[in-house]
Structure 1
Amino acid sequence: MGVAASSGRDVLRRAVRGQRRDVALGSLLGAGHQAGEALVPVLIGVVIDQAVAKGEVSALLLWLAVLAAVYVGLSFSFRFGARAGERAAEQAAHVLRVELVRRVLHPGGGAENGRLPGALTTIATEDAKRVGAVNLAVMFGISAIVGLLVGAVVLLWISLTLGLIVLLGTPVLLWLGHLLSKPLERRSEAEQERAAHASGVAADLVAGLRVLKGIGAEEAAVDRYRRTSRGSLVATLRAARAEALQNGMVLALTGCFIAVVALVGGRLAVQGDISLGQLVSAVGLALFLLGPLEVFAWVNADLAQGRASAARIAGVLATPPAVTIGGGRLPQPVRGEVRLRGVSHDGLHEIDLDVAPGELLGVAATDPADAAALLRCLSRQADPESGVVELDGVSLRELDPADLRLAVLVAEHDADLFEGTLWGNVGAAAPESADPEPAMVAAGADEIVRAMPRGGDTAVSGRGHSLSGGQRQRVALARALAADRAVLVVHDPTTAVDGVTEARIAPGIREIRRGRTTILVTTSPALLAVADRVVLLDGGRITDTAPHADLVRRHAAYRTAVLA
């Protein structure tokens, strides 16, 4: 599935269009509320002219009943209209969150490039919420326009002069409000960018808290976050100042406008052009107009923030996939033959490698960056700059990455665990009928089960932080083994376990993976010793291929990488 390019305008348009039914209902009911609010001062003026001035009690009771009915109508209109608007806002935000998550999890990847996980989280929460709130702003904006129109029509009926002042002055106020919202839009975008970055840095620091404590880098980490948070605070204060300036200026302009309406109405009453009741209605309408005009100030601010957030969301949605989606099919059954021909990517240069079906291959890289580049090519997180990677004779470029990962599992060194139980984590990717116990034994994770009070039902916190580093590694390795893929690529699965446990895990991996292709990208001598053969990756090139013991004798670079 491709990812369609979109702009901030497209995101806003789709957010409103997708909830058009609730927006229309909310706007209709909101318009009824505003029309009712506009009619209240008119009815009060009628009561004065038709009942109070003439002293007719029956007319007074009649018009008071009409006024009460209008109040009931406008109250219910606001209640149900606001409910429809809130529903539209929340549903639009939910749709955007789902769309963002779908893009981030797209098999082609790419959305995470250049963005911290915390930044993506902020975009999927705060920015989506702001764009969803645009539906509410649209609803209230339409309602305010109806209120202004009703007020203008009544004022035209009372006095042509008053009506023209409102009809001509309102567009000018709206235009000025739009101009004043531009600085807020720019500063709101900067505010969200800085807040997302600060959130991402905080998430990374929390995730690596144990490591930071282990190396005594707490002060440096706190200092880094302090600088990032300070930058976010400055951006937030700038946005707040811009919003306060906009609201203050719009409120001042609105006050001047209302004062002009009241002044003109008073002069007309003194001159006898309008009655006392009409003067009361005109002044009441002038005060009522303050509400819709204040709504316009809020709507402008909300739209400015919504446009800024929509642009950030569009940036994620429009990010091109890191790899293309091929139309080819996996061979059935998958034998597990892996071939690299002339592969160059990042630090790798002209890599030629054949991995036979069922082989246990070790790969020892003298540079960790080269190992990471190889893993990206094998998992198809990226396509090589030149050359081809094949599975059973089919180029990986021709396959859908989602289909490929059903046959090839690349278990990263820093794989995270999920919140749940030990059994739940190990069996997450395993076939339904599979027994996770052999994988737990092979990975040495059975010791963890025996040591825990609740055994395999022991709760695991998010990202596995309730376990030690070695325990997390063993559970993650057990999960990879339990998945039972035709090809398994494992990267440094035992760096946090002790030597005795590592010596037990090595033959366990070989036994459980017998007959299926396994690639161990590691510098662990215990793991490399059980491999059928080991490839030495030095300087981005394959310099030798032989059993572990032979490479130890032949190459000083290998001894340094593996035995140091």
Structure 2
Amino acid sequence: MKSGRDVLSHAIRSQRGRLIGGSVLGAGHQAGEALVPVLVGLAVDQAVAEASWGRLLMWLAVLAVVYVGLSFSYRFGARAGEHAAVEAAHEIRAQVVARVLHPGGGADADRLPGELTGIATEDARRVGMVVLAVLTGIAAFSGLAVATVVLLGTSVPLGLIVLLGTPALLWLGHLLSKPLERRSEVEQERAAHASGVAADLVAGLRVLKGIGAESAAVERYRRTSRTSLAATLRAARAEATQNGVVIALTGAFIALLALAGGRFALDGTITLGQLVAAVGLALHLQGPLQMLAWVNAELAQARASATRVAALLSAPPAVTPGGRELPAEIDGAVRLSGVTHGPLRGLDIDIAPGELVGVAATDPAAAFSLLRCLGRQIDPETGTVELDGIPLRELDPAKLREAVLVAEHEAVLFEGTVADNAGDPAALAAAGVADLSAGTPVGERGGSLSGGQRQRVALARALAARRPVLVLHDPTSAVDAVTEARIAASVRRMRDGLTTVLVTTSPALLAAADRVLLLDGGRVTDAAPHADLLRRNPDYRKAVLA
């Protein structure tokens, strides 16, 4: 079970090389920044006070070298840090996507697609930023360390003020980051939920318009969006409070340090040049302290995001892979014995190799459960599903899907062309895609095509895969009756010798099957060719003709 801490530590370890290099350069930049007021103070004491042009030019040259060094250190250190953050975020994103696409499933349980997208994008980005935050923190501590050592060498009381005051400021900043962390986690959850609702509504836009539910959809998103906005505002207020308090305390701390330095200069404890250096170092400290405040805020948000990423990566799979291998030659015999899952109740089905079988379900939920069991998206509560006598539980889901393809009704097409989605001309012809050329553009999720065109291209893609076992779920519900009859004949011809299961209530498709199983009450109640069932079974007539 992964934790948020595991995710953060892995992100840091994965960028160890860039982190070390960037930290050295960042520390060099901050050390150079801290040395600038010291060098100015030395120039005042050794050149200005003694009116020596030679020494003044020498110190100016030293300052120029230091400025060039710290400038290049910042440039390349920042580049290394940004590169490391982007690479770490990319690696987290790849892990999230791999988990979502894992054949065992389970990652999308109780999560909308938009929420998964939010975790793969915004949460991954925030986790990646932890690398830059660590680099920045190391650089800031380096600047504080150099300033403290110099101030201790100049005046022990000034150095002690820094040594005692800095940990107190950091502790206060850490306390103030706790509310931000809590509110940031809620903010990210609400934003991800809002994105999920938006994606869900956009995907079903045509349906919403068809039933006139636009106003209800808008109201639903408005409520969700307002909840997300409220969470975002609470997180923003927490961040603003933290930043404001830290900046105010930092200013008071720097003012105290400058006041003490001025008092020591008046007493003659330190020289004029040392006072200039002390005041300059006090001003310099504002940079590292603000950097540490930013680091605290970034770590708070990264911890919240890492918790969400860890929860997704640790989500248990819906099915666990077995160790048994499929035979090199697959006959395509499918058997379900006593399968119980959801609405399925002791379901028994026996399909011979090469048979074209129709399944007409009176309950759509039962059809859906059957599809999930056949594709091993789930394992049944009781009973077994077998392929060529091998229980599917004993197979790796990824290997199984090389033999069994379940083409669901809500198939998603990919952006590109018809050929990109289904390039086999024979499959395109069998699916009745005569009105589209191979180069016809296909928009995201097939949005540029009509419902019937999307279905036919998805069917062509399924046929082109030529799996030994193909399960089709309502592949022609948006196609006219004449085209549907032609497609049924073409599917039968193209799948000759290969096992095919048609889960549908379409009379045209069921008429092309060798036999049809009536799935009623969670079990098969009748089985015969389509014409025989129509003649003798009223439940079947109601299911396919209503």
TM-score (normalizing by structure 2): 0.99
Residues 1:457 and 2:439 aligned together: yes
Q: Distance in 2 between matches of 1:553 and 1:235?
A: 61
Which among 185, 209, 222 is matched to residue 226 of structure 1? 222
Where does residue 216 of structure 1 map in the other structure?
A: 212
Which among 166, 186, 192 is matched to residue 170 of structure 1? 166
Residues 1:443 and 2:439 aligned together: no
Q: 1:316-338 deviations in whole A, cap 9, x for unaligned? A: 11011110111101122100000
How far apart are 1:224 and its partner, in Å?
1.1
* Partner SS, residue 111 of structure 2: coil
Q: Distance in 2 between matches of 1:422 and 1:448?
A: 11
Q: 1:289-324 deviations in whole A, cap 9, x for unaligned? A: 011001111000000011111111111110111101
Where does residue 303 of structure 2 map in the other structure?
A: 307
Q: Distance in 1 between matches of 2:273 and 2:245?
A: 33
The one-letter amino acid of 1:232's match is S
How far apart are 1:218 and its partner, in Å?
1.1
* Partner SS, residue 345 of structure 2: strand
Q: Distance in 1 between matches of 2:218 and 2:51?
A: 77
The one-letter amino acid of 1:551's match is L
Where does residue 423 of structure 1 map in the other structure?
A: 419
How far apart are 1:556 and its partner, in Å?
2.5
How far apart are 1:17 and its partner, in Å?
0.6
The one-letter amino acid of 1:161's match is P
Moved more, 112-121 or 149-158: 112-121
Q: Distance in 1 between matches of 2:429 and 2:56?
A: 89
Q: Distance in 1 between matches of 2:237 and 2:481?
A: 59
Residues 1:49 and 2:31 aligned together: no
Q: 1:23-52 deviations in whole A, cap 9, x for unaligned? A: 111110100100010011111111111111
Q: 1:335-391 deviations in whole A, cap 9, x for unaligned? A: 000000110011100011100001111101111000000000000000000100000
Q: What is the 5 A alignment of 1:500-515?
A: 500-515=482-497
**Runs of 5+ unmatched residues, structure 1:** 428-435, 450-454
Which among 202, 221, 234 is matched to residue 206 of structure 1? 202
The one-letter amino acid of 2:432's match is G
* Partner SS, residue 467 of structure 1: coil
The one-letter amino acid of 1:81's match is G
Q: Distance in 2 between matches of 1:482 and 1:294?
A: 60
* Partner SS, residue 448 of structure 1: coil
Where does residue 29 of structure 1 map in the other structure?
A: 25
* Partner SS, residue 413 of structure 2: coil
* Partner SS, residue 490 of structure 1: strand
* Partner SS, residue 281 of structure 1: helix
Q: What is the 5 A alignment of 1:545-556?
A: 545-556=527-538
Q: Distance in 2 between matches of 1:310 and 1:553?
A: 61
Moved more, 348-357 or 98-107: 98-107
How far apart are 1:515 and its partner, in Å?
0.9
Q: Distance in 2 between matches of 1:276 and 1:542?
A: 98
Where does residue 370 of structure 2 map in the other structure?
A: 374
Where does residue 263 of structure 1 map in the other structure?
A: 259
Q: Distance in 2 between matches of 1:127 and 1:534?
A: 49
Where does residue 536 of structure 1 map in the other structure?
A: 518
Q: Distance in 2 between matches of 1:288 and 1:440?
A: 70
Q: Distance in 1 between matches of 2:435 and 2:20?
A: 58
Q: Distance in 2 between matches of 1:204 and 1:219?
A: 15
Where does residue 400 of structure 2 map in the other structure?
A: 404
The one-letter amino acid of 2:281's match is L
The one-letter amino acid of 2:541's match is R
* Partner SS, residue 357 of structure 2: strand
Q: Distance in 1 between matches of 2:77 and 2:306?
A: 25
Q: Distance in 1 between matches of 2:489 and 2:52?
A: 104
Which among 117, 121, 125 is matched to residue 125 of structure 1? 121
User: Once superposed, what is the RMSD of the aligned Cα atoms?
Assistant: 0.9
Q: Distance in 1 between matches of 2:20 and 2:167?
A: 23
Which among 443, 456, 466 is matched to residue 448 of structure 2? 466
The one-letter amino acid of 1:281's match is A
Which among 461, 483, 491 is matched to residue 479 of structure 1? 461
Where does residue 86 of structure 2 map in the other structure?
A: 90
Q: Distance in 2 between matches of 1:207 and 1:535?
A: 33
Which among 335, 345, 367 is matched to residue 349 of structure 1? 345
Q: Distance in 1 between matches of 2:279 and 2:425?
A: 81
The one-letter amino acid of 2:536's match is R
Q: Distance in 2 between matches of 1:559 and 1:103?
A: 44
Q: Distance in 1 between matches of 2:489 and 2:32?
A: 81
* Partner SS, residue 55 of structure 1: coil
- Number of residues of Structure 1 aligned to a counterpart in Structure 2: 546
**Runs of 5+ unmatched residues, structure 2:** none
How far apart are 1:437 and its partner, in Å?
2.0
Q: Distance in 2 between matches of 1:438 and 1:276?
A: 90
How far apart are 1:207 and its partner, in Å?
1.5
The one-letter amino acid of 1:441's match is A
Q: What is the 5 A alignment of 1:239-278?
A: 239-278=235-274
* Partner SS, residue 99 of structure 1: helix
Q: 1:507-558 deviations in whole A, cap 9, x for unaligned? A: 1111111111110000101111111111111111211111112222333222
How far apart are 1:137 and its partner, in Å?
0.6
Where does residue 432 of structure 1 map in the other structure?
A: none
Structure 1 residue runs of 4 or more that deviate by more than 3 Å after TM superposition: none
Where does residue 327 of structure 1 map in the other structure?
A: 323
* Partner SS, residue 36 of structure 1: helix
Q: Distance in 2 between matches of 1:513 and 1:286?
A: 81
The one-letter amino acid of 1:397's match is R
Q: Distance in 1 between matches of 2:196 and 2:357?
A: 37
Where does residue 140 of structure 2 map in the other structure?
A: 144
* Partner SS, residue 110 of structure 1: coil
* Partner SS, residue 50 of structure 2: coil
Q: Distance in 2 between matches of 1:382 and 1:324?
A: 9
* Partner SS, residue 488 of structure 1: strand
Residues 1:11 and 2:1 aligned together: no
Where does residue 104 of structure 2 map in the other structure?
A: 108
Where does residue 179 of structure 1 map in the other structure?
A: 175
Q: Distance in 1 between matches of 2:140 and 2:370?
A: 60
The one-letter amino acid of 1:65's match is A
Where does residue 541 of structure 2 map in the other structure?
A: 559
Q: 1:158-214 deviations in whole A, cap 9, x for unaligned? A: 100010110111111111111100110111111111111111111121112111111
How far apart are 1:262 and its partner, in Å?
1.1
Q: Distance in 2 between matches of 1:438 and 1:293?
A: 68
Q: Distance in 1 between matches of 2:390 and 2:143?
A: 66
